[in-house]
């Protein structure tokens, strides 16, 4: 009986521009009684474009300088992802535009995924599953053993909200946790290394979960891979650009690295084909931080940030643009 | 310079019969200065067979009544596995033969594997990895989302050494833990259900890690699967016989179960072929409790039990045969 439901007139509410690539949906259930979503296809868009104070960036849709040029009154860009490197942060800083991220909404899923990828690479789930499905178990016999998680020295690169949750999850497995991060977190009981090379030298596995910036681009390079050693494992749930992919592939092909669990790549959705035949590698199509359950959390953070912005209160998950 | 190493004469040490299928190796490095291992192929076997007091059972080699008949003086069977259902326990009880297991040596690996399988099924690692390797990501687009581990109600069947470690590992993920077990463990903070049907009704996933006995055979039957519901997930790292495999396959084929992570099967190494095409199922070839690291732990428990037996001290990991 949808025709009996009274439609709500939200035209008195402040406007937020929805910025999205066509393949990223904006669910109308995300709109609430605190703002009116306006897309470029909306008849009211020309009216609102010059005065809109807020842009909501859906998923990883790039927001560049030329997009910002369209919105001379914009004061705040609401991101809906954990990392916001698809938003031109330097340009936002220059224009005095504040930026928010999805905050911690995806952190638990991201941490779960990092731990899962690490177990998968060590204990060889995906490879063993292929072995069984190919009917090889009765023919070729026992599948080679993996390696134990307990006792491994895990180095976490970026001890933010995801990295901290990765550490907490790995503690009961008996792993030794160390990290490198912009700042030492003295309240946490893990060993801090001020540079990634030292962390790699003292780790059996590196979990990459920092944000991608000019400073962290290719933070995993051939020196770090060499320091990690030929039994070392790289897990990347951050961004493809954090790892020098060409070097990573070279190390894996040459047997100079133990394995890798990758959720992100430098040229997604392209994945280096050399990895397709490797059993010590788990390849995931950029799914780490996404579950249906997490979306509800993202909506809450987005709405919370919008409420805070329109009522001049501190934003819930503002990105520090001063770096 | 191996020929310069003086060989050790262990003939004065007590004998332990090595009982193994040809494909299970007995590493001579496992023998120590406390016992002499004797296999049926050994020239001294006929001399020692009637008087041997100990049998060491390698891996899952079946030890049946007819084997025990060969050793009229045997007092103790040393198992090298966590579960000992391949040893005829009723017959051992009848003959007053004590039995030991590998105790906790494999427990951490088993618990790691159970957690890994659960994350794999929920977040679809193995299936997504196949998707990437098949080159489908650039062609078909984003892989379907999995489901979040946090908030899931996990029911553990058998809260022994493995089950307890599974619970401890899942706590930081934000899971709610309940269990059914022979006895309530009042020192642990998890909800106890005296029967598996109630546990299934109140769980999103069941992790099966109890031992296989007459009482636990097919403990996962169609009633339990129905109670778990069509989004429920079964993880089995115990024994194939704990699950009515025919029913499990039927439920999965008919979409009446959410998914399964299986390390064990009723007719290993045969795996039901209906499962080979399912993306909500992870198939592992009985690898849960095995890593090279665990073997050293097993050796320690075995040697500890032998030392204790020969010096009339309490065994380290004696199996309770009174049930």
- In the prediction, which pLDDT does A164 show? 96
- Segment A62-80 mean pLDDT: 97
In this prediction, residue A30 has a pLDDT band, given cuts at 50, 70 and 90, of low
**Average pLDDT score over chain A:** 93
Q: Answer yes or no: is pLDDT of B29 > 80.
A: no
Whole-number pLDDT of residue B99: 97
pTM of the model: 0.85
CB B53 within 8 A of CB B75: yes
Ranges A189-193, A197-201, B23-27, B257-261: which has the least confidence: B23-27
d(CA B98, CA B319): 8
Q: What is the pLDDT of residue A293?
A: 87
Which H or E run contains B109?
Answer: helix B107-123
Share of chain B above pLDDT 70, in %: 94
Q: Taking 50 as the threshold, does the pLDDT of residue B188 lie above it?
A: yes
- A268 as an active site residue: the answer is yes
Mutate to test the interface with B, among A148, A165, A235 (most CBs of B within 10 A): A148
User: Which of B268, B270, B293, B296 is an active site residue?
Assistant: B268
Closest CA to B86 of B74, B102, B70, B109: B102
**Residue bearing the bigger pLDDT, A8 or A171:** A171
**Range B168-180 average pLDDT:** 97
Locate the chain B residue with the closest alpha carbon to A128: B284
Confidence (pLDDT) at B7: 45
Kindly give, in sequence order, each residue whose CB lies less than 8 Å from that of residue A12, ignoring residues fewer than 6 positions away.
Answer: none
Q: What is the mean pLDDT of residues A20-26?
A: 77
pLDDT at A5: 36
User: Least CA distance to B283: which residue of chain A?
Assistant: A129
Q: Using 50, 70 and 90 to split pLDDT, how confident is the model at A323? A: low
For residues B175 and B160, give the distance between their C-alpha atoms in angstroms, rounded to a whole number: 19
**Out of A8-17, A113-122, A213-222, which region has the weakest mean confidence (pLDDT)?**
A8-17
Catalytic residue among A67, A98, A124, A239: A239
Mean pLDDT of B271-285: 98
Closest listed residue to residue B90, CA positions, set B215, B181, B210: B215
pLDDT at position B127, please? Answer: 97
Mean pLDDT, range B34-39, rounded to an integer: 90
- What percentage of chain B carries pLDDT values higher than 90? 82
- Could you tell me which residue, B140 or B295, shows the higher pLDDT? B140
Mean pLDDT over B175-180 rounds to: 98
Report pLDDT for B1.
32
Report whether B100 contacts B303 (CB < 8 A): no
Residue-level length of chain B = 323
CA–CA dist A215, A211 (Å, integer): 10
Active site residue A93: no
Nearest by CB: A294 against B130, B148, B293: B148
pLDDT at B8 over 60: no
Statement: residue A32 has pLDDT above 90: no
Burial (CB < 10 A; 0-12, 13-18, 19+), residue B303, is: middle
Whether B291 and A119 lie within 8 Å, measured CB to CB: no
Residues with Cβ < 8 Å from B144, sequence gap 6 or more? B124
């Amino acid at each position: 009986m949808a025709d009996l439901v009274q439609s709500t007139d939200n035209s008195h509410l402040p406007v937020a521009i929805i910025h999205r690539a066509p393949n990223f949906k904006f669910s109308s259930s995300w709109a609430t009684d605190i703002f009116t979503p306006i897309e470029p296809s909306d008849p009211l868009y020309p009216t609102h474009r010059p005065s809109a104070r807020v842009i909501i960036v859906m998923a990883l849709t790039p927001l560049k300088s030329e997009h910002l040029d369209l919105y001379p009154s914009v004061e705040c860009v609401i991101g809906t992802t954990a990392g916001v490197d698809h938003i031109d942060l330097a340009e936002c800083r220059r224009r005095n535009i504040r930026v928010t991220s999805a905050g911690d909404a995806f952190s638990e899923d991201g941490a779960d995924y990092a731990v899962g990828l690490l177990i998968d690479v060590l204990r060889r789930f995906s490879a063993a599953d292929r072995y069984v499905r190919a009917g090889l178990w009765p023919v070729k016999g026992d599948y080679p053993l993996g390696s134990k998680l307990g006792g491994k020295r895990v180095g976490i690169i970026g001890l933010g909200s995801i990295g901290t949750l990765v550490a907490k999850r790995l503690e009961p497995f008996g792993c030794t946790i160390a990290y490198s991060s912009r700042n030492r977190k003295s309240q946490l009981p893990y060993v801090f290394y001020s540079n990634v090379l030292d962390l790699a030298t003292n780790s059996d596995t590196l979990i990459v979960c920092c944000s991608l910036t000019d400073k962290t681009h290719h933070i995993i390079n051939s020196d770090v891979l060499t320091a990690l050693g030929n039994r070392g494992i790289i897990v990347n749930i951050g961004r493809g650009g954090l790892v020098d992919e060409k070097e990573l592939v070279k190390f894996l092909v040459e047997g100079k690295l133990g394995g890798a669990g990758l959720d992100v790549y430098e040229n997604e959705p392209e994945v280096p084909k050399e990895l397709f035949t490797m059993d010590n590698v788990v390849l995931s199509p950029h799914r780490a931080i996404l579950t249906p359950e997490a979306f509800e959390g993202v909506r809450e953070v987005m709405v919370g940030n919008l409420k805070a912005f329109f009522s001049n209160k501190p934003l819930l998950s503002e990105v520090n643009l001063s770096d």
